[in-house]
Structure 1
């Protein structure tokens, strides 16, 4: 990271040390977002920039190749954690952190859980239909009926859960979640 103009070397050292601690922490915890540690460090680097950065600038700051930076940035853009921005006079792509962390989480939650929900609901529905057909084919088999009833009860409970989860994901995607749990935005006094 570069020296900040207008402050002493000692002040700059404290700032850089504190920023590095945060960047390391972000990198270490980005696995929650299925993101590598180095991509998390990239996110942390972008977080503390006053202006958008190019892939070359990121590569130089992190001492990594442009290819690695490109892969990391693409991951962060796909997760809506970083935005590609346009700047007059620049021919290179520029990137900056999405400033609304609340929306970043909501977007990520929606992307990841929607996919899991759809896969699981499909499996549950398919299995439920197979069990119903088996149930209809062998109505007199008491042992089979008992097993199928138990499994169908479990499948129904799971389907109810996934329907609830679908509504929860809808609330994240629509922003309604923030009516239930308002964003805690910093005040002037913070």
Structure 2
């Protein structure tokens, strides 16, 4: 009875975490794995995880690698254990920082590269003689819009920097429980 209630309470949180991570492009099975590891008091092997979740060892290995790449799971060593052991990064603040910093930096880099290339091409168009005034207006309008987008991406990079340096906690402190 008590164990059933404990498992039900854990499962509710694991399901919510899994659904939430799915919103950010992490598959539900990877979210379930993170939730499973979160409630473990000891590191687990891939075989242990496979038994708990009923996933193939290949799928489990891929999922663990994804979580490791996001710094949400750590590989640990334990004396006398030959198999790789994994445990969850329990600092939810750091999980947020690592996850979003990685995702946002990739998006920022991709978008800045596209904007800078387009700005270069648009500025080359301005060198063309006898441009129609309407086209000239559109080019200048696009340049202005893209420069505003670059300002946004500069801001986003500074936000990411403040997350990674933990400076953000000076403005929005963590709660200690």
Shorter-normalised TM range = over 0.9
Match of 1:102 among 93, 98, 107: 93
Q: Distance in 2 between matches of 1:42 and 1:137?
A: 58
> Quick check: which has more Rg, 1 or 2?
1
Match of 2:21 among 24, 30, 33: 30
Q: Distance in 2 between matches of 1:106 and 1:72?
A: 20
Cα deviation, 1:94-139, whole Å, max 9, x if unaligned, reads 0111011101101111101111101111111111111111112236
Q: CA deviation at 1:140?
A: 5.4
Partner of 2:11: 20
Q: Distance in 1 between matches of 2:79 and 2:35?
A: 25
Residues 52-61 or 13-22, more deviating: 13-22
Match of 2:102 among 87, 111, 121: 111
Cα deviation, 1:156-180, whole Å, max 9, x if unaligned, reads 1111111111111111121111221
Q: Distance in 1 between matches of 2:33 and 2:147?
A: 43
Partner of 1:56: 47
- TM-score normalised according to structure 2 size: 0.94
- The Cα RMSD (Å) is 1.3
Match of 2:116 among 104, 112, 125: 125
CA 1:138–1:147 in 2, change beyond 3 Å: closer, same or farther?
farther
Cα deviation, 1:39-78, whole Å, max 9, x if unaligned, reads 1111111111010000001111112221121111111111
> Any unmatched runs of 5+ in structure 2?
none
Cα deviation, 1:10-56, whole Å, max 9, x if unaligned, reads 22121111111111221222113321111111111111101000000
Residues 11-20 or 137-146, more deviating: 137-146
Q: CA deviation at 1:143?
A: 2.2
CA 1:56–1:125 in 2, change beyond 3 Å: closer, same or farther?
same
Q: Does 1:86 align with 2:40?
A: no
Q: Distance in 1 between matches of 2:171 and 2:43?
A: 33
- TM-score normalised according to structure 1 size: 0.88
